[in-house]
Structure 1
Amino acid sequence: MTMSETKSKIENHPMMKKDWYYSIEIQPGIFTPGREHRNVILTRELLKGIQVKGRNCLDIGAMEGMISILLWRRGAAKVTSYDRIDFSEWISFIQERLGVPFNYIKGISLNKIKEFTSPFGLYPYDVVIFSGVLYHMFDPLSGLSAVRGLTRNGGIMLMETSAVLTEKDECLMYFNNAGRFFPGTNYWQISFSCLDYLLRLLHFELLDVSYYKSFNVDGIQQGRIAIVCRAVDGPVVSTGDEWMPKTISESFLPDFEEFIDWEELRINKSGDVPYESEKQAGVFHDGTSSLNVFESVKSIPETKFTDPDAQVRLKLDAMF
């Protein structure tokens, strides 16, 4: 914020008349005209446990940069904010007033981030935030692979997405045909179990989970889920699964290598990024230290929407 901006001037600024996704405080008591998107509660809740200070961070699907701002405020050494849509005007408006000089990339595809950021020494990343994006992708496995390809071993990936809570432990996805779940550019509604399996397949160990239920369509319970994962050196295989280990054989590797250079991601100069959960330990997959999401959510209470001011809007002094 510049010193010459009065409350009246900033409230009548042309950018304050535009459509905003997030509600961000830019002057005491003055927020951008965003909407109350409950899903950001889950991302912010789990972000608390990630020690981002001094780390190289990437925010995928940043919109106007709420999470990028939080990463910067908490002392991240480098923050790269990315979105396929060009929010340059919104980002500039925010950065000028809040003094958060994170890097901003827009308009390129997700699988071009490595190529775009490597010359600047940004790739691979210690912490990757992937919030509110997966259901907009034609191919969820390719999308998750692209994200894994940006997260160094020992690093943390926090993802949040719309998903399906099934009654049985089933790996499945529902297609949003005719917009039966959502009217917008949503394609697949993935089950909690399927998301769990794909993440472990892509060498992620699941550390923590938060969720809430939303609405029901034709008996299919919709919800939102956020998961904190650590990138590890191989697939996280539960006892009795004989198929997943085959994915590191030569016949599988070429498909993964479209998105992932495993050797580059093994560079781990600064150790594992610490994560501390506020919850009691959940249920783990047999033979692993990775959370079983389907079983864990049975004992973990849903995240509640109780205080929009603190949970959804980003205040000037907010750190989480």
Structure 2
Amino acid sequence: MRAQSFVSKRIGWRRSIENRGSCALGSPDRVHRFRPLTRSDMSTTTAIAHTFDQASRAALRKKADAIRWFHAIDFGDFQTRGRFPAHLPPNSTLYPVFELLSRVEIGGLRCLDIGTYSGLVAHGLAKLGAASVAATDIQDRPEFRLTSELLGIEIDYRPDVLIDGLEGAFEAESFDLIICAGVLYHMLDHMLDPVRAFSECRKLLRPGGLLILETAFHAGLEGPTMFLNSEDDQYIEPTTYWLPSRGAVEGMARLCCFDVLQTIELAHTRPQYARLAVACRACGPDEIGDRRPNLVRIHERGVKGLGYKPASLTSAGAGEAISYTGERGHTVMRAEAYTPSFPLHAHTLRDPVGLTS
């Protein structure tokens, strides 16, 4: 399908933030539950700001100012700086993820955020009414814990969990929605390969569940191609090992038994600095769209490295698949023409706190 231009618009989330969950309740489950706010509650931002007395809030802000933040987060009375310089839109690499998430009814879903960093996505999902939210990272990050404290939200936070440790940390088929942003192109350390970003998520998703995966990619590559960045310095970052093409991202998803629903490209003047997000559904091999004959043979034979037999995977029953309302195909967006309304995203930075890079 020919790529379409992405027009500027504000996402219309199906429920206002004021009616979403914000307070964590104790739960015996592996991931924590959230109470939806009632009509008598104040707005989320106002309620958060009044959780602490003035002195306590000032102390937390001072603590936030001494941390280097990966995400630009709006806490109501102040924002964190995030990792981008002032001339770039805050959190812009997540814009395709925000748009794909706007096509999913988050309320009541069991969610997992892989590579959470400061926790913008994880805490935003909680505010959108997720039944439960878990988050993982390769190390324990103080900014994530401070985000939870400032917002009064308790996430099932699992630091020191790599992709290959997900299966040991969570039960199989225990999530409805998984977000994996900014991970795939780093996968070489600890002998991890990019395909495992899809295969490990496939194990954790229930039949009909959704994966939204975002990655750096090379918009100038044709076909299902994986560029080894160490050989040509296309992307100047020492931990970016891979720059896949869109065909390679879609192909890895299908190999791991996902049906690709939609891809969104965040355009860049240099094609090797573009970003790509894909929304795909966990399904049985027979439900995969555009499955090539050789992929059929691969699935029938089995792939030992996946850790499961594709032929044994089942699809969701009638009416059980998580709804996705986006249109199939590929779309191109530009950061300067897009206005996200994902909860906690800082649109503009007014005297932000946090260390500079």
Same fold (TM over 0.5): yes
TM-score category (smaller protein): 0.7 to 0.9
Q: Structure 2 residue aligned with 1:305, among 336, 345, 352?
A: 336
Note the aligned Cα RMSD (angstroms): 3.0
Alignment correspondent of 1:285: none
Alignment correspondent of 1:109: 162
Alignment correspondent of 2:69: 20
Aligned pair 1:172/2:187, yes or no? Answer: no
Equivalent residues in 2 for 1:1-320, closer than 5 Å? 2-6=51-55, 9-10=58-59, 13-28=62-77, 30-35=78-83, 36-87=90-141, 89-118=142-171, 123-138=173-188, 139-166=193-220, 168=222, 170-177=223-230, 179-216=233-270, 221-234=272-285, 236=288, 238=290, 241-250=292-301, 252-257=302-307, 271-277=320-326, 281-282=327-328, 291=329, 296=330, 300-306=331-337, 314=345
C-alpha distance in 2 between matches for 1:43 and 1:237:
22
Is contact 1:137–1:187 with CA below 8 Å preserved after alignment? Answer: yes
Is contact 1:151–1:265 with CA below 8 Å preserved after alignment? Answer: no
SS for the counterpart of 1:22 is coil
Q: Tell me which of the two structures has the higher relative contact order, counting C-alpha pairs closer than 8 angstroms and 6 or more residues apart.
A: 2
Is contact 2:219–2:246 with CA below 8 Å preserved after alignment? Answer: yes
C-alpha distance in 2 between matches for 1:116 and 1:167:
36
**Residues 310 and 71 of structure 1: is their aligned pair in 2 closer, same or farther, counting only changes over 3 Å?**
closer
**Residues 237 and 49 of structure 1: is their aligned pair in 2 closer, same or farther, counting only changes over 3 Å?**
closer
**Residues 312 and 68 of structure 1: is their aligned pair in 2 closer, same or farther, counting only changes over 3 Å?**
closer
Percent identity among equivalent residues?
22
**Residues 106 and 267 of structure 1: is their aligned pair in 2 closer, same or farther, counting only changes over 3 Å?**
farther
Matched pairs, number? 286
**Residues 111 and 314 of structure 1: is their aligned pair in 2 closer, same or farther, counting only changes over 3 Å?**
same
Is contact 2:257–2:282 with CA below 8 Å preserved after alignment? Answer: yes
C-alpha distance in 2 between matches for 1:7 and 1:306:
38
Is contact 1:58–1:79 with CA below 8 Å preserved after alignment? Answer: yes
Q: Quote the offset at 1:221 in angstroms.
A: 4.3
Question: What residue ranges of structure 1 are gaps of 5+ in the alignment?
Answer: 283-290
Q: Quote the offset at 1:145 in angstroms.
A: 1.5
SS for the counterpart of 1:243 is helix
SS for the counterpart of 1:94 is helix
AA of the residue aligned to 1:113: L
C-alpha distance in 1 between matches for 2:151 and 2:263:
31
C-alpha distance in 1 between matches for 2:145 and 2:79:
16
Is contact 1:40–1:312 with CA below 8 Å preserved after alignment? Answer: no
Is contact 2:282–2:315 with CA below 8 Å preserved after alignment? Answer: no
Alignment correspondent of 1:287: none
**Residues 272 and 312 of structure 1: is their aligned pair in 2 closer, same or farther, counting only changes over 3 Å?**
closer
Normalising by structure 1, what TM-score? Answer: 0.79
Q: Quote the offset at 1:49 in angstroms.
A: 0.8
Is contact 1:206–1:230 with CA below 8 Å preserved after alignment? Answer: yes
Deviates more, 1:143-152 or 1:5-14: 5-14
Kindly provide the CA deviation profile for residues 7-60 of structure 1, in whole angstroms up to 9, marking residues without a partner as x.
Answer: 9824752332210001112232x0122133311111111111111211111001
AA of the residue aligned to 2:345: L
C-alpha distance in 2 between matches for 1:22 and 1:127:
21
